[in-house]
Structure 1
Amino acid sequence: MAKAYSDDLRRKLIEAHQQGEGSLEVLARRFHVSVGWARKVSATYRRSGSWARPPSGPRGPRSKFTGEIRRQVGEWMAEQPDLTLHELQSRLHEELRLRASIGRLWSLLREMGLR
C-alpha cells in the first residue's frame, strides 16, 4: 500500500491555493501529486477547515459477534468449560442462528481470554 502524503504537503498545497498561486491543476503539477488528490484535499479543507488527514474508520466487515453474543458465549463457557469448538459452533447455529468457522470461534475465545 502506498504511503500517505504528509500533513505538511497538504498544508503547503492549501496555502498556495489560498494565496492564488495557481489552480489546483497547476499546483498539483508543482507539488507532483494527482489532480484528484489536490481536489480531495481542497474539498476536505473547505468542509472541515483542517488540512490534516481525516481519521480512517475501521477496516473490514463489522463482526457478527456483538456484545450480547460474546456475553452468551461467555455464559456457555462458564457453565460448561470443556465445551468443544464444534459444540460451540453447533450451539451458536441452533440457538442464535449464527454461522461461524472453527477458526473464527478460536479467535473469539482468545479475544475473550477464554483460551
Structure 2
Amino acid sequence: MKAYSVDLRKKIVAAHLVEKMSIRKVATRFLVSKSLVQKLVKQQRFEGSLQPKPRGKPQFSYLTNRETEVREMVGEHPDATLVELCELFAQKTGHSVSRAAMCRCLQKLELPRKKNMVQSPSGDRKSPKIKSRVLGKN
C-alpha cells in the first residue's frame, strides 16, 4: 500500500490540533484509523515533518564500493564461475558473499558471464566448455 500524501497528512494533523477535534472524530472524518492519526500527531510534534518514512530495511552488501576489486578479479579470472568469484572475494577481503549478490554486482557492472565456447573442426560454436574443476572431477 502506498503512503498517504503529505497534503492529506497535514489536513489530518490540522483537524486535530487546530480545529481541536478528537482523534476518533478525525479518524472517522478522513476514513483512516485512529492509530494513524495518533502516529501523525506524534510525528509532527517530535520531528516537525509529516514526510512518509522510507519503507523496508536498508540493504547491505560487502560488494558495495568494491567495484574496482571485482573488475580486477574478473579480469584475472575471466572464466571463473560465480562460486569461484565468491571464494576469491572472500580470500581477498575476508568477507563472504552469496552467489546472488555476486551475480547482481556483475550485472550492475555490466560484466559478461559468457564462458569460452568449444569450437568444432568445421568452425561452428558448440555448447560451453565444462571444466573438470567445476564438476569436481580430477
The residue aligned with 1:56 is: 54
Percent identity, please: 31
Which one of 49, 65, 70 corresponds to residue 73 of structure 1?
Answer: 70
1:15 CA displacement:
1.8
User: Matches of 1:108 and 1:78 in 2, distance apart?
Assistant: 15
Unaligned stretches of 5+ residues in structure 1: none
User: Matches of 2:85 and 2:39 in 1, distance apart?
Assistant: 47
How many residues align structurally?
Answer: 112
TM-score calculated relative to the size of structure 1: 0.75
Q: Pairwise CA RMSD of aligned residues?
A: 2.4
Unaligned stretches of 5+ residues in structure 2: 113-138
Aligned-partner SS, 2:96: coil
The residue aligned with 2:89 is: 92
User: Matches of 2:86 and 2:49 in 1, distance apart?
Assistant: 48
Counterpart residue type for residue 14 of structure 1 = V
1:27 CA displacement:
1.2
When Rg is computed on C-alpha atoms for both structures, the one with the higher figure is 2
Counterpart residue type for residue 10 of structure 2 = R
User: Matches of 1:108 and 1:6 in 2, distance apart?
Assistant: 34
Structure with the higher fraction of residues in strand conformation: 2
1:58 CA displacement:
6.4
Structure with the higher fraction of residues in helix conformation: 1
Q: Which has the higher contact order (CA 8 A, sep 6+)?
A: 1
TM-score calculated relative to the size of structure 2: 0.65
Over 6 Å off, 4+ runs: none
